[in-house]
């Protein structure tokens, strides 16, 4: 083996490095999902207006003879680290943490996300002076199938591939759907103008579900990510406008998306959430993770 770590490119967008990492995440989860917390779809989704693009070169790529076998990355900005490894290279966990300490800290501050029960990672973290916190993240799963739901009278479903889809209306809806009160900044406005994400790798516009209200509002939305033939899909993002909550629209959007993925081969769908909403509609928790912080 010829294993080495290198920095990810500092170029923005869907670069050659971006696609190599995406392919790596697809490959290591093909036969068995081993990183439900960080699937290829999360990698694709994170490259939006909320990720700091100035620090891309801090992301670490571990290669064996030019083939990616590990990833150490942040999601919003440096100061945090997530790890993904090919199972055949689990012995590299200490080196993954070392890379994060050296490259992903922000002014000496670093927190790393580790799966509960991964004793190799946890013992290594303790040896490297990290301590677990009470801050956690959870992954939930729903089995694929024909899930039923009821839409209120007058509401109907469209998706992004429909001719009547209005991108500007969607951008305004998702902004309000996530309870944003402030005006959009220039980076967010630019992202909307450029329709960022609409050309994302492996995106299927027919899996971006919208519930349309009788007055034409995009009342609820569920985005699904799935590669035809793959046995899993990923839920992100989901929102419902404040004035349309508690009437079953979010449930309808998510289950419609899950059903469409199931028809394309998905036997399960993952969501990075522990919200009661997901448990109430059929999801169940499958993995918990804990933030560890570096002792000074």
pLDDT of residue 1: 61
The whole-number pLDDT of residue 282 equals 97
Lowest mean pLDDT among 23-37, 146-160, 188-202: 188-202
- Name the pTM for this structure: 0.95
Residue pair 113/74 in contact (Cβ under 8 Å)? The answer is: no
Residue 121 is inside which H or E element, if any? helix 119-127
Residue 162, C-beta contacts closer than 8 angstroms, at least 6 positions apart:
none
* Tokens linked to 34: 């081993």
Helix (H) or strand (E) holding 289: strand 284-294
SS3 (DSSP) at 48: coil
CATH of 145-266, one of 3.30.70.20, 3.40.630.30, 3.60.15.10, 3.20.20.300: 3.40.630.30
Reported as a single tens digit per residue, the pLDDT across 13-60 is 999 999 999 999 999 999 999 999 999 999 999 988 789 999 999 999
Mean pLDDT along residues 105-114: 96
pLDDT confidence of 193, banded at 50, 70, 90? confident
Q: Where in the chain is the domain with CATH 3.40.630.30?
A: 3-137+288-294, 145-266
In this prediction, residue 88 carries a pLDDT of: 97
Residue 92 is encoded by which pair of tokens? Answer: 């590299």
Q: Tell me the DSSP string of 202-228.
A: T--GGGEEEEEPTTS-EEEEEEEE--T
Residues 66-76: tens digit of each pLDDT: 999 999 999 99
The mean pLDDT of 267-295, rounded to a whole number, is: 97
How many C-beta atoms surround the C-beta of residue 261 within 10 A? 27
CA R_g for the chain: 20
Sign of dihedral through CA atoms 214, 219, 225, 229?
negative
Confidence at residue 49, expressed as pLDDT on a 0 to 100 scale: 77
Q: In what order do the strands lie in the sheet with 218-225?
A: 3-7, 60-64, 67-73, 80-85, 111-115, 284-294, 130-143, 268-271, 232-240, 218-225, 208-212, 156-159
Average pLDDT score over residue span 259-278: 97
What average pLDDT does the segment 83-106 reach? 97
Q: Where residue 179 falls among pLDDT bands split at 50, 70, 90?
A: confident
Separation in Å, CA 43 to CA 19, 21, 234? 10, 8, 11
Q: Which tops the pLDDT comparison, 229 or 112?
A: 112
Question: Does the pLDDT value for residue 296 go beyond 70?
Answer: no
Q: Once rounded to an integer, what is the mean pLDDT over residues 162-185?
A: 92
Report the alpha-carbon distance of residue 33 to residue 84 in Å, rounded.
12
Residue 255 carries which DSSP code? H
pLDDT given for residue 246 in this prediction: 96
Smallest CA-to-CA distance from 74 within 22, 107, 113, 37 is with 113
**Residue 186: per-residue pLDDT:** 87
What pLDDT, on the 0 to 100 scale, is given for residue 74? 98
- Position 50 scores a pLDDT of 82
- Choose the most confident range, by mean pLDDT, from 44-58, 150-164, 168-182: 150-164
**Whole-Å CA distances, 228 to 23, 74, 231:** 15, 28, 8
Q: For domain 3-137+288-294, is the CATH number 3.40.630.30?
A: yes
Averaged pLDDT score across all residues of the chain: 95
């Amino acid at each position: 083996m010829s294993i080495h770590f290198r920095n990810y490119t500092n170029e923005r967008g869907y670069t050659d490095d971006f696609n190599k990492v995406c392919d790596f995440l697809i490959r290591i989860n093909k036969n068995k999902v081993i990183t439900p917390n960080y699937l290829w779809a999360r990698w694709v989704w994170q490259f939006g207006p909320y990720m700091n693009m100035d620090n891309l070169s801090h992301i670490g790529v571990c290669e064996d003879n030019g083939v990616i076998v590990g990833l150490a990355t942040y999601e919003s900005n440096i100061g945090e680290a997530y790890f993904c490894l090919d199972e055949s290279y689990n012995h590299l966990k200490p080196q993954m943490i070392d890379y994060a300490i050296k490259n992903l800290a922000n002014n000496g501050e670093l927190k790393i996300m580790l799966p509960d029960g991964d004793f190799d990672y946890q013992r290594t973290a303790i040896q490297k002076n990290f301590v677990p916190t009470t801050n956690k993240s959870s992954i939930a799963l729903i089995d694929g199938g024909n899930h039923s739901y009821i839409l209120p009278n007058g509401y109907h479903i469209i998706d992004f591939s429909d001719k009547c889809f209005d991108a500007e209306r969607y951008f305004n809806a998702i902004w309000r759907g996530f309870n944003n009160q402030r005006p959009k900044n220039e980076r967010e406005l630019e992202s909307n103008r450029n329709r960022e994400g609409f050309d994302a790798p492996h995106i299927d516009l027919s899996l971006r579900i919208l519930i349309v209200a009788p007055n034409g509002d995009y009342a609820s939305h569920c985005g699904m990510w799935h590669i035809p033939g793959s046995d899993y899909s990923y839920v992100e993002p989901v929102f419902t406008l404040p004035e349309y909550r508690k009437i079953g629209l979010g449930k309808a959007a998510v289950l419609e998306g899950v059903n469409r993925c199931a028809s394309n081969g998905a036997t399960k769908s993952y969501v990075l959430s522990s919200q009661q909403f997901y448990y109430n509609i059929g999801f169940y928790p499958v993995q918990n993770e804990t933030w560890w912080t570096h002792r000074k």
